[in-house]
Structure 1
Amino acid sequence: MKTPQTVKALEELGRVQLSKSFFMREFLYSEIAQIENLSNIPENPELAIASGKNLCQKVLEPIQQQLGRITIRSAYRSPEVNAKGAEKNYNCAANESNYAKHIWDVRDANGYMGATACIIVTSFIPYYERTGDWTALAWWICDRIPDYAELTFFPKYAAFNISWHENPNYPKFIYSYVKDPHTNKNSGYLTKEGMSNFTGSHTEFYQEFVQGL
């Protein structure tokens, strides 16, 4: 599949079904592209589709099946869009850091493909607004979604970046920009390889959230 150059071709790309519930079109919207008058269209559609299918089928679909509807906040970024986001400090990392992440259609430096989406789990909002505890959802994903590669949480609605990565030895981690109420600093790493809490069950941390569903 070539990079779409016509409305019809872009419509066809948007109609590609990535999983039971998700189609390519909903991952292509970008506020940066809208404001900066840029095209957020994959240069390598076949790689973007392959990466997106893995993300949707192995990570997003299982979350939605168990917790209900998820909302896509930000997902695929073309290299041009991501570069502009980094240049203007729109919370985008440099392209080299986003290959096989938000830039689905470029492999990383080691030749692996991957994909990232920023999502909101709608059913988690009431619990989060009541408790301020983003870790309940983080630990639930850690225990229940084995194919996630990394999680990064943000304050608004406990939205988070979630990634799938082809590398079976990818160093998983969970990080948060939600402020710690005691220090008023980013919460930082909840867990990563080498930390004592990286393995084992974390049911106690999300039991209240799950019971309230």
Structure 2
Amino acid sequence: MRKPQSVKSLEKLGRVQLSPSFFMRDFLHSEISQIESIPNIPDFPDIAIQTGSNLCQKLLEPLQNKFGRISIRSAYRSPLVNAKGADNKNQYSCASNESNFASHIWDYKDANGYLGATACIIVNSFIPYYERTGNWQALAWWIHDNIPEYSHMQFFPNYAAFNLSWHEVPKKEIYSFITGSKGYLTKPGADNFDGEHSEYYEEMLREIGL
């Protein structure tokens, strides 16, 4: 598929079903794109479809099957959109294009030649528990134990929104930007990486009713 140059061709890309619950159009919204008038369209749609399908089928679908509806906050970014977001003068808080290849920029390989895709999501049913307890770690550990194909997670304060990534060579890292718990929760080689962690999420599952 060529890069869309018309409404009709962009509609066609948006209708591509990445998994039973998700379509390409779900991942193309960008506030930066809207405000700055920069189209958020993949340069290489076939690669974006490939990586997005892995993200949806291997990570998002299992998560939604367990917890119910997932809201997409930020997902695919074109290089031009991400570059604007990485411009510190604009304070949009995006990492550089090089850091986001095979991450938010789905259709470009990273420096090591691998593909990947990231979406920033909110698990809607988790919000009440998180707002009562501040325990974002419960969801992180559940994913770590039950959806092992993730590459990395990065948690943010509002609604415990987090980046969830698929990658051909997964990092298996969990990081928090939340005040009071900023830093790595786990990564390969950490004492808490291996084994089962249900003690950290049993209460959360009960409160949500799962």
TM-score by length of 2: 0.97
Q: In 2, Cα distance between the equivalents of 1:136 and 1:198? A: 14
RMSD: 0.7
Q: In 2, Cα distance between the equivalents of 1:96 and 1:176? A: 21
What's the counterpart of residue 14 of structure 1? 14
Q: What residue identity is the alignment partner of 1:204?
A: E
Q: How does 1:135-174 map to 2 (within 5 A)?
A: 135-167=137-169, 170-174=170-174
TM-score by length of 1: 0.95
Q: In 1, Cα distance between the equivalents of 2:57 and 2:185? A: 25
Report the alpha carbon displacement of residue 12 of structure 1 after superposing the two structures with TM.
Answer: 0.3
Q: In 2, Cα distance between the equivalents of 1:25 and 1:173? A: 28
Q: What residue identity is the alignment partner of 2:150?
A: Y
Question: How many residues get paired?
Answer: 206
What's the counterpart of residue 66 of structure 1? 66
Q: How does 1:85-164 map to 2 (within 5 A)?
A: 85-87=85-87, 88-164=90-166
1:42-73 deviation digits (Å, cap 9, x = unpaired): 00000000000000000000000011100000
Report the alpha carbon displacement of residue 173 of structure 1 after superposing the two structures with TM.
Answer: 0.6
1:194 and 2:195 correspond: no
Q: In 1, Cα distance between the equivalents of 2:188 and 2:91? A: 29
What's the counterpart of residue 210 of structure 1? 205
Partner SS for 1:179: coil
Partner SS for 2:119: strand
Structure 2 unaligned blocks of 5 or more: none
Report the alpha carbon displacement of residue 111 of structure 1 after superposing the two structures with TM.
Answer: 1.3
